[in-house]
Structure 1
Amino acid sequence: MAALGASTRFGYALGSLTTGAFGTVPGLLLLPYLTDTMAVPGAVAGVIVLVPKAWDVVFNPFAGRLSDADLVRSGSRRRFLLSGGIGVAVLFAVLFAHPGFGGTAADATYVVVAFLLCATAFALFQVPYNALPAELTASYDERTRLTSWRIGLLAVAILISGGVAPAITDSVGGVMGYRVMGVVIGLVILAGTIGVFLGTRGAPVGDRRPPTTGWRDLLATMRAWSSFRWLLGVYFVQSLGTATLLAGVNYAARQVFGDAGLQTVLFVGFVGPALLTMPLWPRVGARWGKLWGFRFACIAFAVAMLGLVAALVLPFGVSIVFVALAGVGYAGIQVFPLAILPDLISAEEERTGATRAGIAAGVWTAADTLGLALGPGLFGLILSAGGYVSSVDSSAAQPHSAVVAILLGFSLLPGILVTLGIPLLRRSVLEPAR
């Protein structure tokens, strides 16, 4: 099978600027945005972060059906990418605009509505974006290479958004810092949208098989598609784990490591090794198979999280070593499920004779969205259980119980959740023939 050209790989991968920015910044800063500029209690803030994402869990499969139908009708999913991505860019800036209505309830309601609209626009971008690899190539190994390019750009996006966003909020300060950050990251999202739209102009689009016609067909497909369900289960629990880690970075930098400015250091220490080792994971997959590569990555991440449990007594340099190891594992647990997914989609489409890429991507994105939403919500509950004190200027002194809760939510809990995925990686259903 012919390999994809570098321009197609890079063009597709540019969409990670959009997915990385939207997936990282709200998970990193939306909770402190609520607790430390609007004085929203931690448990309530966690629910606020969850509600719009819960809607997306319902909407994403519907977006998948729309995407499949549009592929059959027009031969392309690209207009969904463009309209959805532009909507995300604009609404992201709106989300962090903080108009200041004079009351916590009114301000929190504004955030819920803005985040709901932004998450809906993101579904229109993310669902067809996840569906594309199954149509760009039928090659087992080429899909791993394509995914590694995507995850490589994702690491860059996380480095840019996860490093720059906190730096902007810290340097500008207060509400205005969040406003400026929202505009800057919105421009990054827009650049990724335009990049993938233009970069995939001449890419293959796959066969125009008939789409799934109704919800009964969808449910029947999911019941019969055991391999997809197993992989989806792994991806969900691991998305929950990484989202909990992201939600804790801001709090860990301030309360565990003692300096808000260390957010950027933590991100560079995490994403830098992920970016450097990204090209190695496809080689691991080619040598030992995608499932064993996936397992190796899970183990590396879990060991790193276990080491970070001792961060309160370890020198910061040692903690950074564990952060770097977590980044190496994170690269793998991002590459392999997204490389296995198109293999499963192609096998199912051959079995049924119908288009399944869009609907599978919709269900997949719904699970990913739910995991990313529950992570900050779960961390908010941990803050509440630890007695975290909310404020309007991040100056409240925190009890030792809150610091311990932050540490465990930032390290031990993500490690446990990622490890839970390992028993679900069943070779009998997830390893297709090459």
Structure 2
Amino acid sequence: MCDDRSGPAGGPGDEPRGGGSGALPRSVHAWYGSGAVATSVFNTVPGLLLLIYLTDSLSVSPALAGIVVFLPKLVDLLVSPYIGIWSDRTRSSWGPRRPWMLAGALTLPVLFAAVFAGPPLQGDAAAGYVALLFVAAALAASMFQVPHTAMPGEITDDYHERSTFNTWRTAFVGLALLLGGAAAPVIQSSFDDDATGYRVMGLAMGAVLLAAMLGSVAGTRRAPRPVFGHRTEGLLPQLRAAFGHRHFRVLFPAHLLMAVASGTMVAGVPYVTANVMGEPAYTSILMMCVLVPLMVTAPLWKRLSVRVDKRAAAGYAAGVFALGGLGLLLIPVWGVPGAVLSSVLVGVGLSGTHLLPASMLADCLATPSESGQRQGGVLSGVWTSGEAMAQAVGTGLLSLSLAVSGYVESGAGETVRQSDEALRGMLVGSTLVPAAIMLSCLVPLAFYRLTAAGVGTRRT
């Protein structure tokens, strides 16, 4: 389709012109979803390996390593809403979103590989190097992710088709987690030299990022290309209007809590497998036990959301995740079989907590706020920056648990025997803490009221 620029200028509601009114081709759903490979690999690999890369290969203290992981998310929090606003204002034959996605696709892979390039630095100097490149990579990721997140709320006006978009997205999230959570550790551990392992892993995952992002940019070219009325408000007025959206302002904190929970648990996996279970190779096994259910159950969560609506289904997903987290706490009691079963439950729950909040966000983007304005760019910018910040908070909570319990950092090739207190701290921080945080999302979720009746739908 081409831009529809023939209508009147955007009014107070800032309605997009050129949006979709019929079912979109399945290829558009699939190619849109493929973009999640890039965003999820970028979030998963640093979430899983960056902290331990800093503490166990670059001799960075746990406290400083936590700051390095957190700092780029803070910068991203400030910049992503601006990216959303600028993409709203973009005028292009490609539509407002895809030029930004292309810019991210051409920069993120290089920066990502550089983060894990294994500099000849240790301690504070290594921390500074990683922090600088990770900040740049986070900004490049936002150039892709913010407009990518905004698309489902703009290119279809069907309540359940937005879930279809996010079902594909969740399936590709599972593939990304398979690559980032299972393949990346295998690649890294396949080399005797830690620095070489991280370097090769960074290059391999950078190639995956490039292919997924370019594929999503090219594959969504058949989607409608909305044109937005010209707006001149700055960031603060748009943020006030965004948080005036009563559905978004309760969905957003629920999503943040879900992201904190998943970020804490993912960051803890390599510590638990290496120190509590005594075998680093279990990292890939447990991640497989999470990822296969995550991909397989995505269509089931969509079906459940049609039956009980999205809010209730999201609550069930949070409960399943928390149950799996509590099971992982008992690893010292029931060993590998219990860890496998619990990881499957975590994967089933994660499938729902990825799919349903994203679909609910698309409904919010398609629904004007109380001011009558639709603000896809700024809402998606706030959403993605908050998500990145929440995942960093999750990693920070784990690093805090490690620091408080007396975890001892090490350099490449060094072996350190951790104390019983440190082992308990890493286990509780990786299992019980994320389970409790996930359950707390039910509080804001209880106040979410946007349903199919509220936004309208044509198909079930």
Same fold per superposition (TM over 0.5): yes
Question: Residue 357 in 1 paired to residue 381 in 2?
Answer: no
Question: Residue 304 in 1 paired to residue 324 in 2?
Answer: yes
Does the 8 A contact of 2:264 with 2:429 survive in 1? yes
Alpha-carbon distance between aligned partners in 2 of 1:188 and 1:301, rounded to the nearest angstrom: 28
Alpha-carbon distance between aligned partners in 2 of 1:86 and 1:29, rounded to the nearest angstrom: 23
Shift of residue 355, structure 1, vs aligned partner: 4.4
Shift of residue 104, structure 1, vs aligned partner: 1.7
Residues 261-303 of structure 1, C-alpha deviation per residue, up to 9 Å, x if partnerless? 1111011001111111111111001111011111110111111
Query: What is the one-letter code of the residue matched to 1:4?
Result: L
Name 2:9's counterpart in structure 1. Answer: none
Question: Residue 61 in 1 paired to residue 81 in 2?
Answer: yes
Q: Which among 128, 135, 146 is matched to residue 116 of structure 1?
A: 135
| Aligned partner of residue 35 in structure 1, secondary structure | helix
Q: Which among 359, 365, 369 is matched to residue 388 of structure 2?
A: 369
Question: Residue 217 in 1 paired to residue 276 in 2?
Answer: no
Q: Which among 181, 187, 201 is matched to residue 162 of structure 1?
A: 181
Alpha-carbon distance between aligned partners in 1 of 2:448 and 2:154, rounded to the nearest angstrom: 25
Name 1:143's counterpart in structure 2. Answer: 162
Name 1:391's counterpart in structure 2. Answer: 410
Question: Residue 195 in 1 paired to residue 199 in 2?
Answer: no
Does the 8 A contact of 1:209 with 1:353 survive in 2? no
Name 1:326's counterpart in structure 2. Answer: 346
Alpha-carbon distance between aligned partners in 1 of 2:393 and 2:143, rounded to the nearest angstrom: 21
Name 2:109's counterpart in structure 1. Answer: 89
Residues 200-256 of structure 1, C-alpha deviation per residue, up to 9 Å, x if partnerless? 011112342334621242133034212111100001111111000111011011011
Query: What is the one-letter code of the residue matched to 1:33?
Result: Y
Alignment of 1:223-262 (within 5 A): 223-262=243-282
Identity percentage of aligned residues? 34
Which has more helix, going by share of residues? 1
Query: What is the one-letter code of the residue matched to 2:184?
Result: A
CA RMSD of aligned residues (A): 1.6
| Aligned partner of residue 415 in structure 2, secondary structure | coil
Name 2:442's counterpart in structure 1. Answer: 422
Residues 113-161 of structure 1, C-alpha deviation per residue, up to 9 Å, x if partnerless? 0101101111111100111111121100110111010111111111112
Does the 8 A contact of 1:136 with 1:204 survive in 2? yes
TM-score where L is the length of structure 1: 0.96
Count residues with an aligned counterpart.
432
Name 1:278's counterpart in structure 2. Answer: 298
Shift of residue 17, structure 1, vs aligned partner: 1.3
Alpha-carbon distance between aligned partners in 2 of 1:278 and 1:356, rounded to the nearest angstrom: 28
Structure 2: state its 5+ residue gaps: 1-20
Name 2:421's counterpart in structure 1. Answer: 401
Residues 311-361 of structure 1, C-alpha deviation per residue, up to 9 Å, x if partnerless? 111131122101101100100011111001111111116x65544111100
Question: Residue 12 in 1 paired to residue 50 in 2?
Answer: no
Alpha-carbon distance between aligned partners in 2 of 1:376 and 1:428, rounded to the nearest angstrom: 28
Alpha-carbon distance between aligned partners in 2 of 1:52 and 1:428, rounded to the nearest angstrom: 30
TM-score where L is the length of structure 2: 0.91
Name 1:172's counterpart in structure 2. Answer: 191
Rate the CA distance shift 1:375–1:321 in 2: closer, same or farther, 3 A: same
Runs of 4+ off more than 6 Å: none
Alpha-carbon distance between aligned partners in 2 of 1:126 and 1:281, rounded to the nearest angstrom: 23
Alpha-carbon distance between aligned partners in 2 of 1:196 and 1:125, rounded to the nearest angstrom: 10
Alpha-carbon distance between aligned partners in 2 of 1:352 and 1:127, rounded to the nearest angstrom: 22
Alignment of 1:69-80 (within 5 A): 69-71=89-91, 75-80=95-100
